[in-house]
Amino acid sequence: MRGKQVAFGLVTAFLVVAGCAGPQPAPARPGPLAGQTIEVLAVWSDEEQAAFERVLDVFEQRTGATVTYVSGGDEVPTVLATRLAGGSPPDVAGVAQPALVRTLARAGSLVPLDPSTESVIDAQFAPVWKELGTVDGELYGFVFKAANKSTVWYDAGQLGPGFVPPRTWDEFVETLRKLSDTGRTPLSVGGADGWTLTDWFENVYLQTAGGAMYDRLARHEISWTDPSVRTALQTLGRVFRPEYLPGGISSALQTEFTESVVDVFGADPKASIVFEADFVAGAIAESTPARVGADARVFPFPRIGPTSSVVSGGDTLVALTDEPGTKALMQFLASSEAASIWAAQGGFVSPNRQVALDEYPDDSTRQIAEELVGADNLRFDMSDLMPSALGATRGDGFWRAMQDYLADPAQVDRILAELEAEATAAYEEGDS
């Protein structure tokens, strides 16, 4: 009997050990941080992951540290919460929501950046970016990969050589009207994804109401029933007209983001203009035969007010441990050198103003980066600044309100009143 129990115990022990054994440690390289391992958890996957790993390779070669990258995709907040609850956070995390950075910082899960990294950020980033990474006066992170969400894409082949990109909102409306006069449906809108619609709204609101009001609305210091919101929606309504959208409104509400890009640049185009951030380039490369820079061109979001403005998004890097390796890695990633490595591979825009524009692989990306770094009036994506229950829930909150507005602009009063009620509840609950 005893023998059997021992054998059973051994088998169990073996199973447990086998189950727990992690990846084998890589052979140490020479360097100041030789033998140290640093773990990075971030949102980038597939091609983005490959590009970012190349940035990490350079750091590994230079310092001898071993950096492992774990892709969390859209689930980074959940993965991070679980890892923190389990007491084994990654050393560095890349998250898409500033609201999450704020929550983590206040919960004491983040380590503030050390002075040497802060000086790099002071020297190479515009103040607005530093402010984004600051919580309660302490700098916790910086945006490594930015998105310029004020770009409109068009198919140069369809619109012909005579097409002059509209610079103002009136010109934009006029362009759409002219195209639709000949029976075409020029504008592709991916309304099944609420976030494309909130991006539309944010761009318009930033210009019709101005940066100060934008900040106040993002913090819910003014109500969603404020007249400025209605003005922005009405301005937007000049463009969201059934005769401009392929298949009309109900079709737009069933078109996902990628589909909206394919509708313009695919083999069988239904429209010629689509609005979204620079990552449209990724969708074009992946799902259509068009070439970015040649067939697929970009113009800045049309101006409504007097100043140029850019709505941006981006993934913020934060540190969760106090190891020397973590500090060194953060400092390296903040530098223009790290950003340039990814920039050269494409699909990437850095808010670091010392990244030379020549580093970007094509004209469209260069133009997007230039506008992002040079904008007078730059704001972060409002829906990412909100509590995620309000700003990032499929079929609810802000997303849903914009979809309802697209579906029936006459209901604007009801829609805004409902959104205001939801916002009040969400901000009371806090950021989580």
- C-beta of 305: minimal distance to another protein in Å? 25
Q: Which of 71, 97, 117, 350 binds another protein (CB under 8 A)?
A: 97
Instruction: Report if residue 54 touches another protein, rule: CB under 8 A.
Output: no
Of 61, 46, 6, 98, the residue nearest 387 (C-alpha): 98
Q: Which of 407, 409, 420, 424 binds another protein (CB under 8 A)?
A: 407
Please say which residue, 124 or 403, places its beta carbon nearer to another protein.
403
Instruction: Report if residue 77 touches another protein, rule: CB under 8 A.
Output: yes
- For residues 302 and 171, the answer to whether their CB atoms sit within 8 Å is yes
Instruction: Report if residue 411 touches another protein, rule: CB under 8 A.
Output: no
Q: Which of 127, 183, 227, 289 binds another protein (CB under 8 A)?
A: 183
Please say which residue, 256 or 363, places its beta carbon nearer to another protein.
256
Instruction: Report if residue 399 touches another protein, rule: CB under 8 A.
Output: yes
Q: Which of 14, 26, 57, 75 binds another protein (CB under 8 A)?
A: 75
Burial 331-360 (b: 16+ CB within 10 A, else e): bbbbbbebbbbbbebbbbbbbbbebeeebb
- C-beta of 4: minimal distance to another protein in Å? 7
Structure tokens, 92: 């560095």
- C-beta of 283: minimal distance to another protein in Å? 17
Q: Which of residues 208-267 bind another protein (CB under 8 A)?
A: 243, 247, 250-251, 253-254, 256
Structure tokens, 379: 């704001």
- Per-residue binding string, another protein, 318-347, x by CB under 8 A, is ------------------------------
Helices (H) and strands (E) in the chain, counts: 21, 12
Instruction: Report if residue 108 touches another protein, rule: CB under 8 A.
Output: no
- Whole-angstrom distance, CA of residue 113 vs CA of residue 176: 48
Edge-to-edge strand list for the sheet holding 296-300:
187-188, 273-275, 151-155, 296-300
Cβ neighbours of residue 337 closer than 8 Å, sequence gap 6 or more:
none
Instruction: Report if residue 81 touches another protein, rule: CB under 8 A.
Output: yes
- Whole-angstrom distance, CA of residue 394 vs CA of residue 426: 15
- C-beta of 64: minimal distance to another protein in Å? 35
Please say which residue, 8 or 356, places its beta carbon nearer to another protein.
8
- Whole-angstrom distance, CA of residue 297 vs CA of residue 59: 35
- C-beta of 407: minimal distance to another protein in Å? 8
Instruction: Report if residue 286 touches another protein, rule: CB under 8 A.
Output: no
Instruction: Report if residue 173 touches another protein, rule: CB under 8 A.
Output: no
Q: Which stretch binds another protein (CB under 8 A): 74-82, 204-212, 224-232, 334-342?
A: 74-82
Which residues, in sequence order, are bridge partners of residue 67?
A: 38
Instruction: Report if residue 194 touches another protein, rule: CB under 8 A.
Output: yes
- For residues 261 and 273, the answer to whether their CB atoms sit within 8 Å is no
- In the numeric block, the tokens 């494409």 are attached to 346
- Whole-angstrom distance, CA of residue 54 vs CA of residue 38: 15
Of 156, 157, 125, the residue nearest 142 (C-alpha): 125
Please say which residue, 97 or 336, places its beta carbon nearer to another protein.
97
- For residues 256 and 193, the answer to whether their CB atoms sit within 8 Å is yes
Where do contacts with another protein occur on this chain (CB under 8 A)? 1, 4-5, 8, 75, 77-78, 80-81, 85, 97, 99-100, 178, 180-184, 191-194, 243, 247, 250-251, 253-254, 256, 268, 270, 388-389, 392-396, 399-400, 403, 407, 429, 432
